[in-house]
Structure 1
Amino acid sequence: MPDNDPIPDIKDIFPPPQIFDPDIATIVYIGLLIASSILLSYFLIIWLKIKKKKTLHPTPDHHKNALDELHDLKLNYTQIPAKEVASRIISSLRPLMSSQFGRSFLYSTTDEFLKHFKEYSNELIGMESSEELLKIITACDQLRFSPSNDNNSERESLISNSIELVRNFPKDK
């Protein structure tokens, strides 16, 4: 007859594995580390997007633009009326002047420019460039408002002087 020995419990045959019981502070610490790394990466991504948007708009090169416009004008100044030549010279010089003298230059007349910016232009761009600039502005005004403007050599010399002025103009403020 079989013995009536009790059947051993499974726990007695196979002891349960030792499970590490973590401390609650460790779990909170790891959770805070993960949350802070997620927040920092989120702010880093936002900062990179903002920086990328700001670098998409390069500053225009006023020297290059003015030279391009003046060279185009020099190629076909004979087909354009004298008033238009003078206007194009001034309009090609305006962005360059506004980068050097500020926005107030854009709204000033020739007389106002001569009055207010003459000394400042001597300091900023030098005596020779300043005198050349004043000559060009005055010649453009004479070309625009003179009744006889059929002299092509005067236009060509004005365009050449403007090109030389732009080439010799300082790039930094």
Structure 2
Amino acid sequence: MMHHLLFCILLFPLSQLVCAREEAFAIVIPSSRLQCYFVPVESANHSKLIFDYQVIYGGISESEENFGLAASESYSSLTVAAETLRERLIRLRKQLDASEHFQSSRRVYETRDRMLMESKLSRVNFWSFINLVAMITVAGLQIYMVKSLFEDHSRVGQLLRRTF
């Protein structure tokens, strides 16, 4: 289809060029000839170029085209190409299945590791809190004992002085 469009634009008699200023040019291209045109765009307002073409006479319809291949040659090459494509698609599908399996196994490992880390994090947080409370309690007790050693009327100080 694209070849037909290019063929009609370049080789057939009439081509119409429409610019953004609504100007039109009618160009007659003789049969089997190629003509190229260059239109400089001087303003950003005129940055679109639209082509409209019409084939007035001549041309070859799709039913009249002859590519020079026999039907059997075309069919056999098509069969070989289809088999090659089929094999490649099967191989691609196997590779995609393998990568999907690998990704799902990695996802399972990641989930397991994340759950393990979260459970250990809660355990570490709990025991860290217990150790913090114990350290604060021991620090308070030590401060109280040292303070009571220097007071004369403290019962704890008297008990500590008698023992040691």
Structure whose alpha-carbon radius of gyration is higher: 2
User: TM-score interval w.r.t. the shorter chain?
Assistant: 0.3 to 0.5
Q: Would you tell me which structure has more helix in proportion to its own residues?
A: 1
TM, length-normalised to structure 2: 0.35
